[in-house]
Structure 1
C-alpha cells in the first residue's frame, strides 16, 4: 500500500489530471476543487510515495543482455538482472524495479511464503512503489533483529514495509538477532516463535541482501563483533551466515545462538533472489554463489563489471 496521511483518491485525481491529462496546476485546482498551492502539495506527495514515478534513461554503454549472460555463466545461477547506472547513487530504484519484475514472473500464490532478510538494500527496495500485489502471501523475516538501532537491520520493520507495498500478510520474529543461551532455549519452546520460524521450511521464495567483505565493512548488525579474528577472511554474508572467498562457512563465538534461517533451509528454497550493488561487493557475490546461497541476482552495471573483472573475464564491448 502507498503510505501517506493524505487522501489517496485525491492524490490520484490530481496526479492523473496533471501528468496524464496535461492540465496546468490552476486547471487541476479547478477540476478537483482545491486551491492552487494544495495542488502543488498533492503532486509532491504523489511523487514521494511512488504513485508518480519518473525515469531518466541512461545512454547505453554496455549490452545488458550480454553482460547478464556472462555473469550468470560465471556464477552458475539461474537468473541475473542488471539495472543501468550506479544504483547506490540512485537509492536502489532500478534494483527495486527489477525485483518487482522477478517477483511477478514467479507468480507467487496466496498461502505461499516469501522470506525477507535485513540489510540496507533490502530495506530500501521493500519500501518502494511498483511492487506486485501478493494478497494472502506470507512475508516472513529470515533473521531476528528486534533491538537493532539501525532501521536497516530491524527485519520486522522491513517485513512490514514489504507487506504494505504488496498487500501481503506480515509475520514477525520478536527476538534479537543474537540471543543468550537461556533465551535461545526459551525461544525453541515458545509456540509464538515456532509458529513463525516453522514457516521457513517450504518457503516459495526469499529476497536476501549480500553483505560486503567483513574487513573494512561500514554497515553491520550490532550483534556481530567488529574485530573478530575468525571473521577477518569473510568475503561476505547472507542472512548472517558468513563465508570466505571459496564459499566455506565461517563462525564466531556465540554464533550458534543467532536467530537466523538455517543454511540447509536457505539452500532448499526454490527461488532465492539476492540484491547487491556496489563494486566492493564483487567478491561477496562470487563467494555467495559458490556457497550456493542464491539462485538469482539483481545488481547494477558497475557491480556486474567488477565481478567479471575480478574473475579475469573480458567485459563485453
Structure 2
C-alpha cells in the first residue's frame, strides 16, 4: 500500500472533514511508509490503538491509501481470472510457458507450478485421491519438496495401479511419492485399471483389500487427476491399461473426446456410458464429482480440447495448466 494525498480545493476533500485529513494522512504515512506499528503510533500520537486501527480503515475508504498490485513478469493473473470466470472454477494456476512448444518442456512447466500449488494448499486433514497413469502428475510429484508444514491424512489411488513390469514402478512412485512428501498413509489399488471382462471386475471388487480402497473413495477431500485425450498417452500404453484400437474407434463414434480416470466424455463434458465402464477399476464419474476439490493438472496442444470438455462437464474445479492452453480455453 502507498499513501496518496491529492490536491483538492473543496471544503471536504475525500468526503472527510478538512481538519480530519491531516490526522488520517499522518497515521497512514507512519504505518505504510515508515513501518511504525499500531501500538507505537498510538503512543506517539497519544491516541488509543483501536482509534489508530479505525483511522487506517478510514484512510483506505477515503482514498488516501490506495492499493496497487503490480503483477510480476511470468505471473498470469489476468489470464487465470478470465479462465476462472469463463468456466466457473474455484482456482486456475497458469504456468509460464512463453515460447515453449516442446511437449516435455511444457509438462515440466505445468508440473513445477502444480508442485508449488500442492505444497501450499494441501492441509493436514486432506484425504487425497490420485490417478495412476499420468506423466504430468508423475512430474509434479517428482518436483515437490517435503516441508515441515506439509502434511495430509491419506493418499489413495483412484485408478488401478497394476500394469506391466516396465510401467508398474511409475504408478507406485506416483502415489508413494506424494504420500512421502505429505507424510500420509499411502493406499494402493493393487489391481489393473482396465480388466478384460465385467465379470473379472466384479470378482476383484469383492476382494476385501480392494473393497477397502473403494470405500476410501467415498470421503476424499481432494482428487488429483490428469486429463487424457481419446488417444492414450505413452505411459498408459506402456502400462498395459490402455483401451484397444477397436474400443477407441467405438468411443470416437459415440462422440468421446477425452477422459478423466478412464471415464470418457464428449465435447460438452457429458459422460459417455459404455461397456468399458464395467471393466474399469477406478473411481466413477459420480463419485469423482462429489469430491470437494478436483484438481486437473494438464496442458499442451494435444489436450486443450479435452481440458475444455472436462471443465464444461464439471469434472474439475481447479485447473493447473500452461499459458498457451489457458489462452486457447478463452477462444470463442
For normalisation by structure 2, the TM-score amounts to: 0.67
Alignment of 1:196-235 (within 5 A): 196-212=213-229, 214=230, 220-221=236-237, 222-228=241-247, 229-232=249-252, 233-235=255-257
Which residue pairs with 1:25 in the alignment? none
Alignment pair present for 1:288 and 2:310: yes
Using the TM superposition, give the Cα deviation of residue 97 of structure 1 relative to its aligned residue in structure 2, in angstroms: 3.5
Answer whether contact 2:232 2:242 (CA < 8 A) is retained.
no
Change (3 A) 1:125 1:63: closer
Using the TM superposition, give the Cα deviation of residue 135 of structure 1 relative to its aligned residue in structure 2, in angstroms: 3.9
Q: Partners of 2:186 and 2:77 in 1: how far apart? A: 35
Using the TM superposition, give the Cα deviation of residue 267 of structure 1 relative to its aligned residue in structure 2, in angstroms: 0.6
Question: Of residues 125, 128, 132 in structure 2, which corresponds to 1:114?
Answer: 128
CA RMSD of aligned residues (A): 2.7
Using the TM superposition, give the Cα deviation of residue 164 of structure 1 relative to its aligned residue in structure 2, in angstroms: 2.4
Q: Partners of 1:93 and 1:215 in 2: how far apart? A: 21
Which residue pairs with 1:137 in the alignment? 153
String of CA shifts for 1:214-245, please: whole Å, max 9, x gaps. 15966644331223333213221111111110
Answer whether contact 1:235 1:245 (CA < 8 A) is retained.
yes
SS of match in other structure, 1:260: coil
Question: Of residues 133, 142, 156 in structure 2, which corresponds to 1:127?
Answer: 142
SS of match in other structure, 1:114: strand
Question: Of residues 254, 260, 270 in structure 2, which corresponds to 1:238?
Answer: 260
Which residue pairs with 1:177 in the alignment? 193
For normalisation by structure 1, the TM-score amounts to: 0.70
Alignment pair present for 1:78 and 2:87: no
Q: Partners of 1:196 and 1:308 in 2: how far apart? A: 38
Q: Partners of 1:249 and 1:208 in 2: how far apart? A: 16
Which residue pairs with 2:297 in the alignment? 275
SS of match in other structure, 1:249: coil
Using the TM superposition, give the Cα deviation of residue 131 of structure 1 relative to its aligned residue in structure 2, in angstroms: 5.3
Deviating 4+ runs (over 6 angstroms): none
Change (3 A) 1:127 1:305: same
- Which is higher, the Rg of structure 1 or of structure 2? 2
Count matched residues.
Answer: 249
Gaps of 5+ in 2: 1-71
Q: Partners of 1:119 and 1:70 in 2: how far apart? A: 27
SS of match in other structure, 2:267: coil
Change (3 A) 1:100 1:145: closer
Answer whether contact 1:96 1:128 (CA < 8 A) is retained.
yes
- Which protein is richer in helix relative to its size? 2
String of CA shifts for 1:17-69, please: whole Å, max 9, x gaps. xxxxxxxxxxxxxxxxxxxxxxxxxxxxxxxxxxxxxxxxxx94x87111111
Using the TM superposition, give the Cα deviation of residue 75 of structure 1 relative to its aligned residue in structure 2, in angstroms: 1.8
SS of match in other structure, 1:305: helix
Answer whether contact 1:139 1:159 (CA < 8 A) is retained.
yes
SS of match in other structure, 2:123: coil
Answer whether contact 2:94 2:322 (CA < 8 A) is retained.
yes
SS of match in other structure, 2:306: helix
String of CA shifts for 1:134-179, please: whole Å, max 9, x gaps. 4452111110030246638953331012222332221111111122
